[in-house]
Structure 1
Amino acid sequence: MRKNQGMLTMRDATVADCSDVADIYRHYVETSTASFDYDPPDVGEWEARVAHGRSAGLPFIVAEDPDVMPGIVGFARLGPYRGKTGWAFTAENSIYLRPEAAGRGTGGRLLGALIDKAGPSTVRHIMAVISDEAPASVALHAKAGFVESGRTPNVGYKFGRWIGVVYMHLDLGPESGAP
C-alpha cells in the first residue's frame, strides 16, 4: 500500500523502519506525557510489534515526507486492546510524528490510512487512550470520527505529576469484526 499526497508517502512498516520508529517514539517517552512509558522500547521490541501486527492482521503504517526530512517522519499502528480474548475485535491505535512533521496534516493522513486499513474481519472498534495533556491528539481523533467515551483523571504518573486520560473510540460498523 502506498498513498501519496503531495510529497507525503505512506506504506506498511517493515523491520528496516524500526530504528526510525524507535527514535520517534523515544522522543515522546523522554520529553512528553503523550506516552506513559518511562523507558522507550528498543528496536527489537518494535520489530516484534511489526511482526505481531502482520500476523494478527493489524496495520502498522509509516510516513515519509522528503519536504520535511529524509526517512520516516511518523507512524501509526493498531495493537491489541487489553490482551483478552473478549477484546479480540477491538484494537488500540497509536500515532506519533517527528516534531518537524507536526502541523502539516501528516497525523490526519496517517490516522485516515490506518482506519482504511483496519481489516473488517479483524477490527470492529478502534480505541484511543490519550493523555489529557494532548488536546491536539484529542482534536485529531475527533476530526477522524472518534467520539469521546470517557475520562479518567490522575491515572498516570510521569515527570512528578499525575496525568489523566481521555478515552475515544471509533465504531467501524456491525459488518466489521467477529460473529
Structure 2
Amino acid sequence: MGTNSSGGALVLYDCPIAKIINGSFSDNQSPAGAALAFTQYSETCSVTLSNGVFWGNSPQKLITSGPSLSVTNSCVQQLTSGPGNVVLSASPFVDADGADGTAGTADNDLQLLANACVNASDSSALPQDAYDLDGDGITAEPVPYDVAGQSRVVNGALDMGAYESRY
C-alpha cells in the first residue's frame, strides 16, 4: 500500500525497460494516478508486468498513461487485455487490510484465496536466481522463493502475485 501524487505504489521515471514479475499491488492510492505511473518516459520505454495481482488501487486500478505496456498472466480488477489475464470481481487476497482494517500495515495477508489466480502463472517469466537464494550454487535456475521465503513453484505450478498460496 502506498500513497503518491503520481503512482500509489510505484512511479517509474525515464524508464528504458522495466519488468515487474510476480508483484502484488493492493490498496494503493494516488490523487492523480494509479497503482503504477510512468512519467518522463521516452518513446523506447517498455514495461512488462507478468504474473501480477492488482486489486483495490485507486483512483485508477492499474496505470494512468505512458509507455508501451504488456500485462500477461495477471489478475486484475479492471479489464486488461493480454494472454492469461484474469479479471477479478472480488478481492483475491486472504485479508488485504488485516485485522486492524488498515491496508499497508504488518497484519495484512496478501496470500491468495482459492481462486483463478492460484496455479495460473507463467513459470517461464520467473527471473534467474542471480543471487543464489537457495545456496545450491546454481544461478541459472528460476528464483526459488516467494517474498515470504516459501517455495515459489509448488507441484510444478506457480501462483500469480508475490506469495504462493496455501492451496
Q: Answer yes or no: same fold by TM over 0.5.
A: no
Structure with the bigger percentage of strand:
1
Instruction: Please tell me the TM-score bracket, short chain as reference.
Output: under 0.3
TM, length-normalised to structure 2: 0.26
Whose helix proportion is higher, 1 or 2? 1
